[in-house]
Amino acid sequence: MKAVVYVPCDSGALSLGADQVARAISREAARRDLDLHLIRNGSRGLYWLEPMIEAVTARGRVAYGPLSADNVPALFDAGFLEGAAHPLCLGLAEEIPLLKKQERLTFARTGIVDPASLDDYLAHGGYEGLARAARLNPEQIAEEVTQSGLRGRGGAGFPCGIKLRTAMQTAADRKYVVCNADEGDSGTFADRMIMEGDPFVLIEGMTIAAMCAGAVYGYIYLRSEYPHSARALNAAIAQARARGYLGSNVVDSGKPFNLQVRVGAGSYICGEETAMLESLEGKRGMVRYKPPVPAVCGLFGRPTVINNVLTLATLPIILARGGAFYKNYGVGRSRGTQPIQLAGNVKRPGLYEKAFGVTLREIVYEYGGGTASGRPVRAVQVGGPLGAYFPQSMLDVPFDYEELAARNGLLGHGGVVVYDDTVNMAEMARYAMEFCARESCGKCTPCRIGSTRGMEVIDRIVARRDQSANLTLLRDLCDTMTNASLCALGGLTPLPVLSALKYFPGDFGLGDDAASLD
């Protein structure tokens, strides 16, 4: 029997030498005259174990990691192709505790299938959602998505079913589906993992959205920092087109749908949906006024469904298993699962998909294992560069849209970044303003000017110059940015700034009573 080995081609695994491991395996197999089939899968998301390879055995897929090319000859000697013991053997991949504890719905196939194979996708339940959608009318598709309770996973959390229905009900000669793959929020990488590890699920999700809204064309707006995603998506789109899953008559539904990947040019603001539309139209990525919302008047003035990669990639399972199935996961108004991306100073960074409701403390300690440095956790930022910093004492907050918002935080795109006690939170607050200044599109004054003034005011506070007056000024500035900015960049930058100030006043050279001023 031909031996089968999986070696990830996920860019995280590549950054740790997965290609060198793959080459070493091929070389060693040739030297030993073994017939070996090497499959490049996505990552399971257990990054502290990457590069993690898997050998297909009679018992199942046996994992080994973290590997380097140097380990490969010894693995062959030990008999890893039969799943034999070795110091780096992790046992059956499916049984790795932190993988088994997850609820993988959106990531059901990532790390398991060959992302370059449509047949493998089909063999793992792919396109079952579209098959069902093709038997429903658009209203029924929108209803199924509404029932599921799915909300936008990009950050805004807007109900996906409502967005679909709005575009569906708006009459136009041409409509679009745009996938927001401009995963600019630092600390997040779930979109990238889907695109590299299971690209067909995104294509299927966009096709379902198109069928519902009546769209004929789609764009995936992809950030330029993700070249491996671009390659995986383009290869998958070509296969889908060749096999009738895209084209003039999608799965014999009589409906046309085509799509293409558009690569951005390094602008964070182009992740904001209206700036993204401007960019797709070939212009500067300037935020648009709303209304009209894009579902009514979007790309090239036509109704446009815009959703994040994770939202669209969740539509197939909702259609395949039903809205009620998806809704059964989660708590309160946060239904379903959230792919949580854990990073920063943490022992076990990775992708953990869990039903909403898991606490931040469980994520950081049970999953993450505490800090990588072994020092105490001091702060945890949730939701990307515009998310709040939480101190130790607040880690019992459940991962849930409303619970985080109630504590002046946000869920955002589901990123969690951990810091140990060497972090200076005044520097992080200043960095938040600096990032806003760098990435502001410049359309509204609070964001364009406020961010630069914010840096200056923080500098003066830290230098202990007229602290009381400057503190008042900083709060006033944040109030203006929060309430008068056109979009979330200027509007949410105060979250990291004010949370750092509130919970870590000492880092700004302030007494603990500074926190009580708000």
List of residues contacting another protein (CB under 8 A): 11-12, 14-16, 45, 47-48, 50, 183-189, 191-192, 224-227, 262-268, 279-285, 300, 341-345, 349-351, 372, 381, 385, 415, 417-420, 423, 428, 431, 435, 438-439
Question: Quick one: 120 or 278, whose CB is closer to another protein?
Answer: 278
Question: Quick one: 185 or 362, whose CB is closer to another protein?
Answer: 185
Question: Quick one: 148 or 308, whose CB is closer to another protein?
Answer: 308
Q: Using DSSP bridges, classify how beta strands 89-92 and 60-64 pair: parallel, antiparallel or unpaired.
A: antiparallel
Inter-CA distances, 173 with 278, 293, 300, 510, 514, Å: 20, 18, 12, 60, 57
To the nearest whole angstrom, how small is the minimum distance from the Cβ of residue 421 to another protein? 12
CB within 8 Å of 293: residues ≥ 6 apart: 166
User: Six-digit token pair at 43?
Assistant: 């990552």
To the nearest whole angstrom, how small is the minimum distance from the Cβ of residue 350 to another protein? 5
The residue written with tokens 């900083």 in the block is: 474
Question: Quick one: 153 or 165, whose CB is closer to another protein?
Answer: 153
User: Six-digit token pair at 143?
Assistant: 């209803």
Contact predicate 75/66, CB 8 Å? no
To the nearest whole angstrom, how small is the minimum distance from the Cβ of residue 147 to another protein? 32
Contact predicate 354/103, CB 8 Å? yes
Closest CA to 174 of 263, 352, 335, 301: 301
User: Six-digit token pair at 265?
Assistant: 């040019």
To the nearest whole angstrom, how small is the minimum distance from the Cβ of residue 133 to another protein? 26
Q: Using DSSP bridges, classify how beta strands 217-222 and 176-181 pair: parallel, antiparallel or unpaired.
A: parallel
To the nearest whole angstrom, how small is the minimum distance from the Cβ of residue 427 to another protein? 9
Contact predicate 222/262, CB 8 Å? yes
Q: Using DSSP bridges, classify how beta strands 258-263 and 217-222 pair: parallel, antiparallel or unpaired.
A: parallel
Question: Quick one: 9 or 164, whose CB is closer to another protein?
Answer: 9
Exposed, middle or buried: residue 78 (CB in 10 Å: 0-12, 13-18, 19+)?
Answer: middle
Question: Quick one: 241 or 243, whose CB is closer to another protein?
Answer: 241
To the nearest whole angstrom, how small is the minimum distance from the Cβ of residue 16 to another protein? 5
To the nearest whole angstrom, how small is the minimum distance from the Cβ of residue 32 to another protein? 29
Question: Quick one: 157 or 349, whose CB is closer to another protein?
Answer: 349
